Structure 1
Amino acid sequence: MSPSFDADLAAARAKYMRRNREALEQASLLLPDALDACPKDFSLEYPTRELIRSASGWTLPWVDFYDPHWVSDTKRFGCVIHHESNVCGIALGRLMAGSVYIEMIEGNPDVRHPFKGYVLDTVELVALIYAQLNAVSELRLIDPVQGAMTHYLNRGYQMASGSPRYCWKKVW
């Protein structure tokens, strides 16, 4: 690769990472008003290898997806919901084809975590802000968990046909 290509790629990665962090920061400010039961002392963080490894016992293959697949994507999107010393939820995805793709989303399997029932709300708020910062108008949940379909449909998502399966929602 040429030096100018490498520089352009690095600049693009930095731009989208900066926008993702800005979305996390804005959502952190809005979340206490958006969720009735928002716990205090929470943080929304950009995914790191260390945070992703803390979810290694969860249902989804977080470590396998994160490294090298997600970290190599220029337009990656991510959100880690953190409360005190616990990771409560994670979402990873990317910006693609006029949409924010949320390719993996999961709440901590410990039913006592304080964001139980609010992981999708929280990730969706971050994704909405990220979509706005990048001038895209749609959210997509890629390969949604079958048991959560009713919840997604009640939230205004529509099921699309095709492969991979996904739910989508116009956001503006």
Structure 2
Amino acid sequence: MCRKSSRLLVLILRRLRQVHGNYHSLATYHFWGSFLMRGYSNGRRNMVPLFFYNLEVTRRYFKGATLPPLLALTYPEVQEKAVEEIHAALGTNTFPRYSDRVNLPYCEALLLETLRKTTIVPLSLPHSALEDTEFQGFLIKKDTLVIVLASGNASEKTSPEINSFCLL
């Protein structure tokens, strides 16, 4: 599992270097690229926009990738309990699959708790309904653009202990 994580980190770092190195080509479709190009075309090499661009790219790429490992490091007993559950239910030579969820209630709770704390994919990606869906009395037709509002996951009303990790 660690090798897969290392490969993923290498791919992410490679992509970050590409984005940082090619910001001129981003000007046509990316706000920060356009902002930087405007600064450079005027003969000014203002590093403040570059700093904020770097900060934004890093935040977008690493926000979801860093919290789950940090939670695992902060709460090793939670990670150990999840591994024990996987080994007890599936053995030591098998990785869990989606269909194994019914046999892994603690692991599912761990995943849901991690998703409550942060999203692990960019929510700005376009989403659409795959089929006609009824949600809380509303009909969402197939191919309707759906905009995700993550702030609802982090409210005192829905999560009274918003700043705690609830699997302890």
TM-score, normalized by the shorter chain, greater than 0.5: no
Give the helix-richer structure, 1 or 2.
2
| Structure whose alpha-carbon radius of gyration is higher | 2
Higher RCO (Cα < 8 Å, 6 or more apart)? 1
